[in-house]
Amino acid sequence: MANQERLRQELIRLDGRGYKAFQDIQGSYDFADFTLIIDRVQGDPFASPSNIRVKVPMTVAKFPEELYQTKSREIALRDYLTRYFDVCTQKFKEKRGTGNSGLISILPVGQEVLERNSVIINSEFVEVRFVVGLPAGGRRILGYQAIEMLCDQVPQLVNLTLKYPRLDAKKIQRHVEIVEDADWLRQELANKGLVAFVADGAILPRRSGVDDRPLAESAIAFQSPESLKVAFDRPNQGSITGMGIPAGVTLIVGGGYHGKSTLLRAIEVGIYNHIPDDGREFVITNPDAVKIRAEDGRSVANVDISPFISNLPQDRSTTNFSTTNASGSTSQAANIMEALEAGSKVLLIDEDTAATNFMIRDHRMQALIAKNQEPITPFIDKVRQLYADYNVSSILVMGGSGDYFEVADTVIAMQNFQPQDVTEKAKEIANQYANQRQAEGGEKFGQIMPRIPIRETIDPSYRQKQVRLKVRDVDEMVFGGEDIDLSAVEQIVDKAQSRAIAEAMVYAVRQYANKTATLPEILDRIMADIELRGLDILTRFPQGDLAFFRKFELAAAINRLRSLNCQKSEKALNSPK
């Protein structure tokens, strides 16, 4: 391996030459107490910056093993180091020439603690992946500026961020303990018959629609009603109390602007862990909970939506339903059936983003429009069967229809941002004012038929390119010749997740899509591979810009491919009961 001095000499030699000559520095360099690896050199000063790694032996980095000995702790520590590295690179923000010359930057992160491949840690070493804008004046190499960046700033960054004795031990300890406790709680939910938990004292509202940090001054802390209160004894931080949402059907009701959607949103992202002081560190949700919404305009490929929709005009099939432009109700039905196909155990629905005619059909409308003239079986007539037949719970924000009182196990009213348990009152009202509507859902929920995606219809190529992937934003990706709109997939929270999902789609095609594999089988195989071997398996070299995603969001991206076509499988998914 070349050493630091070699790199320095090389950069002096390259000074003033055309930018392309930078390619020569690709490789590994032995620095005094770490290794610098240049994996990819950008083609010009405006191209996406070059990919760099530093690898510090644990004998130098000296992180105590207890900080990364469990999976939860390891992910938390990696998250902490990504954040701290990011903070420290701000010190070196300096424009050094054209394009992105001078840039040093690591994966940007939000409020969630996700497994990311920006930092890798094990008993041998800690490794950080980041990007560097190799400096140029015009298109000529600025060799001495590059020396300053790679041979001076990078070692400083290593010193500042990757040597444990220099770091804030208390802060790191708290970070890993909170994340580990949150993971522990998520595992405990089922033992207590719960699908979600919202800790007393939690701060749910956010600063704004574009700022995910906690609302600062006027936020009212969450306080569980007595009747729903549960307590846990966390392994690290001891006892905690809060509201437990039991399995079954739960309604969140209350006046407009009283905090219903804010509560549901916190539950939606409670599938992820959050950083200390986020306010939602201990809002914990069943990891298989999926947000469902209407999404008119999306394409749907070969989904059996017959539990909800049948007898469409023109005899259109609903057991093998495809469309390039779904309506509000058919899109919501497809979203549910796809979530069930992928194995969801909890559905989360907010009236704000649901199709009204999918959610309810009241007595008067039943009298006016006969059942055989209405293709939609509303969710209200299926929600109990989902729980009875498949053990799938629902949490619904429903301020507008008391018809749901009959089908709910738990009714929570939000009043001035505080929850009340109004289950008994709602049941009394349901008895007092008899509901004349007819249940239209039949006896059983119906079959969930997994599909076999046809490999050729998931095609990442475009013109001469074998693979064309671009993630423009958290909700917008280019896959082959198509744009995939993920804006309705609300549990993707990070652009690094979208990037990983795009790569995982290519991986799916290469590794597992064949003539017999069903979508749930493909998803499970990919997730098992990532679990075992990490996110790095998705890319050619360790880019450090990927974050963990769930199979549900991967499925969601595949399902939104307009080219997708599927075959039916023979066997329906088994109901657990």
Which one of ligand ADP, Mg ion, none is in contact with 205 (Cβ closer than 5 to 8 A by kind)?
Answer: ligand ADP
Minimum CB separation from Mg ion for residue 294, in Å? 14
**Residue 91: strand, helix, or coil:** helix
- Give yes or no for residue 256 binding ligand ADP (CB under 6 A): yes
Residue 266 touches ligand ADP, criterion: CB under 6 A: no
- Contact call for residue 260 and ligand ADP (CB under 6 A): yes
Show contacts with ligand ADP in window 439-458 (CB under 6 A): none
**Closest CB to Mg ion: residue number:** 261
Q: How far is the CB of 279 from ligand ADP (least distance, A)?
A: 9
> What's the rounded Cα separation, in Å, for the pair 432 and 357?
26
Closest approach, Cβ 262 to Mg ion, in A, equals 8
Identify the H or E element spanning 302.
Answer: strand 300-303
Site for ligand ADP contains 395 (CB under 6 A): no
Instruction: Tell me the C-alpha distance between 161 and 515, whole Å.
Output: 49
Report if residue 352 touches Mg ion, rule: CB under 5 A: yes
**Residue 207 within binding range of ligand ADP, rule CB under 6 A:** no
Please identify which residue in 218, 239, 372, 466 interacts with ligand ADP, judged by CB under 6 A.
218
Q: How far is the CB of 354 from ligand ADP (least distance, A)?
A: 13
What region does 417 belong to: left with phi over 0, alpha with psi -120 to 50, or beta?
A: left
Task: Please report whether residue 220 would count as binding ligand ADP according to CB under 6 A.
Answer: yes
If binding is defined by CB under 6 A, does position 210 make contact with ligand ADP?
no
Quick one: which segment of 4-12, 249-257, 283-291, 301-309 binds ligand ADP (CB under 6 A)?
249-257
The answer to whether residue 141 forms part of the interface with ligand ADP (CB under 6 A) is no
Q: Does the protein bind Mg ion through residue 306 (CB under 5 A)? A: no
By beta-carbon proximity to Mg ion, the closer residue of 262 and 518 is 262
Q: Is 75 exposed, middle or buried (0-12, 13-18, 19+ CB in 10 A)?
A: buried
Q: CB under 8 Å, gap of 24 or more: what pairs does 415-420 form?
A: 415/254, 415/255, 415/258, 416/220, 416/258, 416/259, 417/205, 417/220, 417/258, 417/259, 417/262, 418/220, 418/222, 418/223, 418/259, 419/198, 419/222, 419/223, 419/224, 419/225, 419/228, 419/243, 419/263, 420/225
Told to check if 238 binds ligand ADP by CB under 6 A, we report no
Angle at 486 between CA 271 and CA 273, to 5 degrees: 15
**Residue with Cβ nearer ligand ADP (218 or 466):** 218
Residue 339 makes CB contacts below 8 A (sequence gap 6+) with 290, 292, 347, 552, 555
Rounded distance, CA 328 to CA 121, Å?
Answer: 46
- Binding part of the chain for ligand ADP, among 74-82, 114-122, 257-265, 534-542 by CB under 6 A, reads 257-265
* Residues engaged in binding ligand ADP (CB under 6 A): 204-205, 215, 218-220, 254, 256-262, 414, 417
